[in-house]
């Protein structure tokens, strides 16, 4: 199919200083866990987006010096010529696909804990980081200012040597140049602090010096946050940012505009739970109005119509995407080819970001199981080899995230027939009801994408409303069987804190409930006082608290952890979720674990002082979000009662389980699990993942033989 | 007891459509093929009728018109549980009268107790083949059936047929009879992989087409309707628009 002409504007070239970008699709700087030290993973990851049609792709934040070392988190680095060599691979591969390469030069100031380099960062004033506690900067004197500016210049030269077409002087997320611009960070009284002109001086001088060094053949990009949402202390659009754009427009080739500081950067990388696409457009439009240079920016754009509208209405020149480019590196190509229903849309869960926040593991994506696996596993999101055993028929039992993904990929790998059998009337498994939790509607894209794709695959048949027992599986007629029957929330309070059940917890009682009883089965939550026991630590407990409180219940949310939903700090959902629960009057009880549950009351103790703190809460209903258990009965029947030998006699050569049915896990990991099995269905032992390439230094030496 | 189910393999359109060079049909590159949805309900109803009567040795025979390709759809019925399939080697996408003429001799030869057809096919949507077939075979016919209570020993069935506006006509019919089956009468079963494999191995009887006679109609040209001009857009709230439409209609009726 051909591109709809209404999207033509997205494919028009645009000039960025000395460089021409072939279209309007720009992969914004974002982390992937690879940095400069896993250079091939880095290069293959970025190049996949270039192959998918992106006109420019950036590194993640790219440290200019050991003084700006973000370890435990992983940044790119341009500290020396060896980093240049490593990042040059990325540049070369991007250029091979006709895309520009950009390096986001980064100096963190007090936010950089320097845990690897053990250096001391420099900053405008000596106040510890609001993001990384116990981290102070050395307050910069004039010599420090000159020296740090020289670090930018040297790194910019190295970036050009590596092959980068665009270098950033990066300020957003409250890093050094923006710290100088912002009173919250800058308490100086010299000519680098105080008035706007003084606060802007460091950034302007640095841009000038970088431009003088490399600007003749390299585009200069500036990434600026236009609102930190902290009143007078933070950067402000009218007071600081628009004047800064006017001050520097001549020496900047492209503006990259967003909002927020680093400690609440979920206001920039917005979870779908709180914000729709295009949330940053008002600030981007404001800059576009005063600048003569191209303006780019993110907004979690997945809809080409919104992209076109942002350009035609004068809000952006270039559509930058971060998360949508992880979810679908081929977003531009699919728009170009008129294949809109093949776009794997980002769901805004921020599980990708959680990996950076955790500090180091490779990027993952709920929608795209191949993200981060381009080099180390050789996976391509759009290309699939025909399986060597493609003459086999496969039965997949259970159409949740793992089963849907597995069936879809097996279909794309050309298996003769794939039957995806589901007990319920529709696909989705847990994803039929999780998107009905407050704010999680976009998560339903996990199901919709796979439904559309499997519908197109003639060798995949979805069979709803059908429950198979072990004999039914045995006699179904498949050569390969995949069990994906999911998991359930414990009904007896079994939990990871005490590793035991909670006395009295029993979800067969009308006053005691599990998440799926509420969301899937429609079990009534009796009374007005509800106590939720959350030993899970992610979205389920807080989402139910929000839902029940919104329905007028008085909700107490109890966790044995020190925070409610600590994983939501990693997904940047925590701050606004806290605000919501606070507004709804949800009582939060931390460091407590129930010792006894009965009708009407929950008795709990402090996890660090069992005797002194025993206390009883009134509760008309108790919701158990304690832990999940695999629905493995079918698998156990097949393996233990019938036996794999007996299955082989029926012609079943392999029986595997995937997803929550094997062990409960993140939705992203369920999708990965189904994808992995399908990718390796023709390996020697599909049950065991094939080794992946580990980018590491190997010592060449003779091993002593015992 | 024997039930004959007449089925059709229908063409399914994708997102995009181009017409063949002679403009007489859709370019086959743009078509997928599948068992007509109504016919899967008809097949299921035959299977359920047999199961409810629990009679041994009863037979369900699937009949279709078309070239080898339509055997895919027939095998889908065999995988669901039909016993036998007969393909009339004729033009499967012919008009309803031609199709009925081709089906009639097979139905007469099989001499079944009941003949089931789908109400209509999803590609041609003529809803006529079953009725013409009843005429040619001399069978009583009930159309758009949503429920069957058949008493074979009395050779009589009480049949519900769907009328417009949610009305249901309950009627009696002597068997043998021909019934056209409506969707929703049941939930068609899915075939297991084993049943699909077994159905692949089954022999499908092929019979030569009878005299077709004159077609009821012929396709002269397929084309995308040209865009016409003169549409009038109405602005305003629902009440304004409704009032305007009323005025326009009244004006035209004058």
Tell me how crowded residue B103 is: count the other CB atoms within 10 A of its CB. Answer: 27
Does any CB of chain B come closer than 8 Å to the CB of residue A21?
A: no
How far is B127 from A485, CA to CA, in rounded Å? 42
Please give the average per-residue pLDDT across B4-12, as a whole number: 96
What pLDDT sits at residue A538?
A: 97
Residue of A463, A466, A476 with shortest CB distance to B194:
A476
Give one DSSP letter per residue of A201-245, joined into a string.
Answer: HHHHHHHHHHHHHHTTTSEEEEEEES--SSGGGS--IIIIIHHHH
Contact B187/A at CB under 8 A: yes
Burial of A706 (C-beta count, 10 Å sphere; 0-12/13-18/19+): exposed
> A419 in contact with B at a CB cutoff of 8 Å?
yes
What pLDDT digit, counting tens, does each position of B136-157 carry?
Answer: 999 999 999 999 999 999 999 9
Nearest Cα residue to A475 out of A631, A640, A637, A647:
A647
Find out whether A525 and A509 touch, Cβ atoms under 8 Å: no
Regarding pTM above 0.90, the answer is yes
Q: How many angstroms away from the CA of A479 is the closest CA of chain B?
A: 9
| pLDDT (0 to 100) of residue B224 | 86
Mean of pLDDT values over A209-216? 98
| Structure token digits, residue A358 | 């955790």
Q: Which of B56, B102, B66 shows the shortest CA–CA distance to B87?
A: B66
For residue B1, the model assigns a pLDDT of 87
Mean pLDDT over A355-364 rounds to: 93
Looking at residue B2, what DSSP letter applies? E
Residue among A168, A175, A449, A538 flagged as catalytic: A175
Where do the domains of chain A lie?
A: 5-358, 393-486+631-679, 492-628
Give the model confidence (pLDDT) of B110-120 as tens digits: 999 999 999 99
Least confident of A391-395, B75-79, B183-187, B249-253: B249-253
Q: Fill in the DSSP letter of residue A639.
A: I
Would residue A431 be called left, alpha or beta, if left means φ above 0 and alpha means ψ between -120 and 50 degrees?
alpha
Give the tokens for residue A339: 């294949």
Q: Which of A146, A287, A169, A178 is nearest to A218 (CA)?
A: A169
A395 contacts in B (CB within 8 Å)? 193
Nearest CA in chain B to A468: B192
Region A486-510: what's the mean pLDDT? Answer: 98
**Average pLDDT of the residues in A358-371:** 95
Contacts of residue A44, defined as CB under 8 A and 6 or more positions apart, other chains included, come to A93, A374, A375
Q: Does B193 lie at the interface with A, CB-CB under 8 angstroms?
A: yes
Residue A126, number of CB atoms within 10 A of its CB:
12
**Pick from A393, A463, A475: which is nearest to B190 by CB?**
A463
Q: How many CA atoms lie within 13 A of A344 on its CB side?
A: 21
Return d(Cα A432, Cα A552) in angstroms, integer.
24
CA–CA gap between residue A132 and residue A134 (Å, rounded): 7
The mean pLDDT of A511-540, rounded to a whole number, is 98
What digits encode the pLDDT tens for the residues A19-56? 999 999 999 999 999 999 999 999 999 999 999 999 99
The four Cα atoms B66, B67, B68, B74 give a dihedral, to 10 degrees, of 0
Please report how many Cα atoms fall inside a 13 Å half-sphere around the Cα of residue A194, on the Cβ side.
7
Helix H segments across A475-593? Answer: 515-519, 539-550, 567-570, 574-583
The 10s digit of each residue's pLDDT in A532-549 is: 999 999 999 999 999 999
A433 token code pair: 């009801």
* Higher-pLDDT residue of A470, B13: A470
Which residue in B has a C-alpha nearest to residue A425's C-alpha? B187
Q: Alpha helix locations (H) across A108-141? A: none
**What does the domain layout of chain B look like in residue ranges?**
2-207
A457 and chain B: CB distance < 8 Å anywhere?
A: no
pLDDT at A706: 65
Query: Taking CA B35 as the corner, what is the angle to CA B31 and CA B38, rounded to the nearest 5 degrees?
Result: 120
CATH class of B2-207: alpha beta
- pLDDT value for B235: 86
pLDDT given at position A703: 86
Query: Which tokens is B5 given?
Result: 């189910």
Cis geometry, peptide bond prior to residue B176 (ω within 30 degrees of 0): yes
Query: What does the pLDDT average to over A302-330?
Result: 98
Please name which of A168, A147, A144, A146 lies closest in space to residue A156, comparing C-alpha atoms: A168
DSSP secondary structure of A668-688:
HHHHHHHHHHHHTTTSS-TTS
CATH of domain A393-486+631-679: 3.40.50.720
Token pair belonging to A533: 């026991």
Question: Which of B16, B31, B40, B190 should we substitute to test contact with A (largest number of A Cβ atoms within 10 Å)?
Answer: B190
Which backbone phi and psi does A225 adopt, to 5 degrees? -85, 130
The ipTM of this complex is 0.87
Flag whether residue B32 sits within 8 Å of chain A, measured between CB atoms. yes
Chain B hits for A478, CB-CB cut-off 8 Å, are 193
Whether A499 has a pLDDT exceeding 80, the answer reads yes
B221 Cβ neighbours under 8 A, 6+ residues apart? B23, B24
Residue A613 has pLDDT above 80, yes or no: no
Cα–Cα distance between A623 and A525 in angstroms, integer? Answer: 9
Q: How far apart are the first and last CA of chain A?
A: 64
> A131 CB contacts (<8 Å, ≥6 apart)?
A111, A174, A262, A263
pLDDT at B214 over 90: no
Q: Any bridge partners for residue A682, and if so which?
A: none
Which helix (H) or strand (E) covers residue A636, if one does?
helix A633-636
| Interval A586-592 mean pLDDT | 97
Which residue in B32, B187, B193 is closest to A478 by CB distance? B193
- Asked if the Cβ–Cβ distance from A475 to B194 is below 8 Å, we say yes
Comparing alpha-carbon positions, the chain A residue that sits nearest to B33 is A458
CA–CA gap between residue A144 and residue A176 (Å, rounded): 13
Contact call for B16 and A1, based on CB within 8 A: yes
For A81, residues 6+ apart whose C-beta sits below 8 A from its C-beta are A158, A161
Over residues B158-178, the pLDDT tens digits come to: 999 999 888 999 999 999 999
Give the integer Cα–Cα distance in Å for A265 and B145.
Answer: 62
Average pLDDT in the A563-591 region? Answer: 97
Averaged confidence pLDDT in chain B:
93
Q: Are A225 and A173 in contact (CB under 8 A)?
A: yes
Supply the DSSP symbol for A642: I
| A475–B192 C-beta distance less than 8 A | yes
C-alpha separations of A460 from A312, A340, A421, A675, B245 in Å: 41, 21, 11, 15, 48
- pLDDT number for residue A519: 98
Mean pLDDT of A62-74: 96
Q: What is the mean pLDDT of chain A?
A: 97
Checking DSSP bridges between strand B168-174 and strand B156-162, what pairing results, if any?
Answer: antiparallel
Chain-chain contact of B197 with A393 (C-beta, under 8 angstroms): yes
What is the CB neighbour count within 10 angstroms for residue A358?
14
What DSSP character marks residue A60?
E
CA distance B185 to chain A (A): 17
CATH assignment, A5-358: 3.20.20.70
Helices assigned H by DSSP within chain B? 37-53, 71-80, 96-110, 129-137, 193-201, 238-253
CATH code for A492-628? 3.50.50.60
User: What pLDDT, on a 0 to 100 scale, did the predictor assign at position B254?
Assistant: 82
A168 annotated active-site:
no
Site of tokens 């023709």: A682
Do B192 and A476 count as a contact with CB atoms less than 8 A apart?
yes
Q: Which residue has the tokens 């091939």?
A: A40
Positive or negative CA dihedral for A518, A519, A524, A525? positive
CA distance A420 to chain B (A): 11
pLDDT at A307 exceeding the cut of 70: yes
| Residues A438, A548: Cα–Cα separation, whole Å | 10
Q: Within 13 Å, how many C-alpha atoms sit on residue B21's CB side?
A: 0
What residues in A contact B187, CB-CB < 8 Å? Answer: 465
What are the two backbone dihedrals, phi and then psi, of residue B88, each rounded to the nearest 5 degrees? Answer: -85, 120
Contact A477 B190 (CB under 8 A): no
Distance in angstroms (rounded) separating the CA atoms of residues A26 and A54 = 6
Structure tokens at A466: 């059908």
Predicted pLDDT at A10? 98
In this prediction, residue A360 carries a pLDDT of: 81
- List chain A residues with CB under 8 Å of B192: 419, 475-477
Residue recorded with tokens 């057809």 = B117
A147 φ, ψ to 5°?
-65, -45
Alpha carbons B31 and A407: distance in angstroms, whole number: 24
Say whether B32 and A463 touch across the interface (CB within 8 A).
Answer: no
Chain B residue with Cα closest to A393: B193
Q: How far is B50 from chain A (nearest CA, A)?
A: 22
The percent of residues in chain B predicted with pLDDT above 70, rounded, is 99
More confident residue, A424 or A612: A424
> Dihedrals φ, ψ of A25, to 5°?
-100, 120
Specify the DSSP element, H or E, that contains B60.
Answer: strand B59-65
Residue of A nearest to B32 (CA): A458
């Amino acid at each position: 199919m051909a591109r709809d002409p209404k999207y033509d504007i997205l494919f028009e070239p645009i000039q960025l200083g000395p460089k021409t970008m072939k279209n309007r699709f720009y992969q914004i700087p974002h982390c992937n866990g690879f940095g400069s030290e896993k250079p091939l993973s880095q290069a293959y990851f970025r190049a996949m987006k270039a192959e998918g049609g992106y006109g420019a792709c950036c590194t993640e934040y790219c440290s200019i010096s050991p003084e700006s070392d973000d370890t435990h988190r992983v940044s790119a680095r341009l500290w020396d010529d060896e980093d240049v060599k490593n990042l040059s691979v990325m540049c070369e591969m991007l250029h091979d696909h006709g895309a520009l390469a950009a390096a986001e030069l980064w100096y963190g100031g007090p936010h950089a804990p320097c845990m690897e380099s053990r250096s001391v960062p420099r900053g405008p004033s000596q106040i510890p980081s609001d993001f990384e506690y116990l981290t102070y900067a050395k307050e910069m004197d004039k010599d420090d200012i000159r020296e740090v500016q020289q670090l930018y210049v040297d790194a910019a030269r190295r970036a050009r040597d590596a092959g980068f077409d665009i270098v950033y002087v990066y300020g957003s997320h409250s890093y050094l140049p923006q710290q100088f611009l912002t009173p919250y960070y800058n308490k100086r009284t010299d000519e680098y602090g105080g008035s706007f002109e003084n606060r802007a001086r460091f950034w302007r001088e640095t841009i000038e010096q970088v431009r003088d060094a490399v600007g003749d053949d390299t585009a200069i990009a500036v990434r600026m946050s236009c609102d930190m949402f902290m009143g007078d202390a933070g950067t402000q659009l009218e007071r600081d940012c628009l004047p800064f754009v006017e001050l520097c427009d001549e020496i900047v080739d492209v503006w990259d505009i967003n909002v927020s500081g680093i400690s609440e950067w979920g206001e920039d990388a917005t979870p779908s739970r709180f914000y729709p696409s295009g949330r940053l457009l008002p600030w981007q439009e404001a800059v576009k109005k005063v600048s003569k240079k191209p303006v780019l920016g993110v907004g979690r754009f997945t809809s080409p119509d919104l992209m076109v509208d942002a350009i035609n209405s004068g809000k952006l020149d270039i559509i930058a995407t971060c998360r949508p480019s992880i979810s679908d590196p081929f977003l531009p190509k699919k728009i170009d080819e008129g294949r809109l229903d093949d776009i794997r849309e980002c769901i805004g869960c921020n599980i990708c970001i959680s990996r950076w926040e955790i500090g180091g593991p490779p990027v993952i994506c709920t929608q795209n199981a191949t993200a981060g696996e381009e080099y180390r596993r050789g996976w391509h999101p759009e290309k699939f080899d025909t399986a060597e055993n493609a003459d086999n028929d496969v039965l997949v039992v259970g159409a949740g995230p793992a089963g849907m993904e597995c069936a879809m990929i097996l279909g794309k790998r050309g298996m003769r027939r794939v039957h995806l059998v589901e007990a319920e009337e529709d696909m989705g498994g847990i994803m039929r009801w999780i998107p009905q939790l407050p704010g999680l509607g976009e998560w339903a894209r996990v199901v919709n994408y796979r439904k559309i794709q499997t519908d197109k695959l003639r060798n995949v048949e979805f069979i709803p409303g059908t429950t198979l027992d072990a004999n039914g599986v045995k006699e179904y007629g498949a050569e390969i069987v995949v069990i994906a029957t999911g998991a359930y929330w414990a009904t007896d309070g079994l939990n990871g804190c005490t590793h035991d059940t909670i006395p009295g917890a029993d979800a067969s009682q009308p006053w005691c409930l599990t998440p799926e009883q509420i969301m899937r089965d429609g079990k009534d939550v009796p009374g007005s006082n509800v106590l939720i026991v959350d030993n899970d630590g992610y979205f389920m407990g807080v989402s139910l608290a929000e839902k029940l409180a919104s329905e007028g219940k008085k909700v107490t949310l109890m966790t044995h952890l020190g925070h409610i939903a600590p994983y939501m700090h990693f997904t940047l959902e925590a701050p606004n979720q806290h605000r919501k629960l606070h507004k709804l009057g949800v009582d939060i009880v931390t460091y407590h674990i129930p010792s006894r549950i009965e009708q009407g009351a929950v008795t709990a103790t402090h996890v660090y002082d069992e005797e002194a703190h025993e206390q009883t809460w009134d509760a008309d209903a108790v919701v158990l979000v304690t832990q999940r258990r695999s629905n493995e009965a079918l698998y156990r029947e097949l393996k233990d009662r019938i036996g794999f030998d007996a299955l082989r006699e029926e012609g079943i050569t392999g029986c595997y389980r995937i997803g929550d049915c094997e062990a409960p896990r993140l939705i992203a990991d369920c999708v990965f699990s189904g994808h992995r099995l399908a990718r390796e269905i023709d390996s020697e032992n599909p049950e065991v993942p094939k080794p992946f390439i580990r980018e590491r230094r190997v010592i060449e030496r003779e091993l002593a033989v015992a | 007891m024997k039930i004959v189910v007449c089925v059709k393999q229908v063409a399914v359109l994708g997102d995009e459509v181009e017409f063949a060079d002679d403009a007489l049909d859709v370019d086959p590159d743009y078509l997928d093929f599948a068992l007509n949805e109504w016919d899967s309900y008809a097949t299921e109803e035959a299977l359920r009728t047999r199961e409810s009567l629990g009679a041994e040795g009863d037979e369900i025979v699937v009949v279709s018109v078309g070239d080898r390709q339509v055997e895919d759809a027939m095998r889908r019925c065999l995988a669901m549980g039909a016993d036998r399939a007969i393909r009339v080697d004729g033009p499967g996408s012919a008009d309803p009268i031609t199709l009925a003429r081709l089906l009639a001799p097979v139905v007469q030869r099989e001499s079944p107790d009941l003949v089931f057809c789908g109400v209509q096919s999803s590609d041609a949507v003529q809803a006529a083949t079953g009725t013409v077939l009843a005429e040619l075979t001399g069978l009583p016919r009930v159309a758009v059936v949503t429920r069957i209570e058949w008493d074979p020993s009395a050779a009589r069935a009480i049949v519900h047929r769907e009328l417009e506006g949610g009305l249901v006509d309950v009627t009696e019919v002597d068997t043998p009879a021909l019934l056209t089956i409506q969707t929703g009468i049941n939930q068609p079963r899915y075939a297991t992989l084993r049943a699909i494999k077994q159905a692949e191995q089954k022999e499908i009887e092929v019979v030569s087409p009878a005299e077709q006679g004159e077609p009821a109609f012929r396709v002269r040209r397929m084309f995308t309707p040209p865009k016409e001009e003169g549409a009038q857009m109405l602005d305003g709230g629902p009440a304004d628009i409704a009032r305007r439409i009323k005025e326009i209609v009244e004006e035209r009726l004058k």
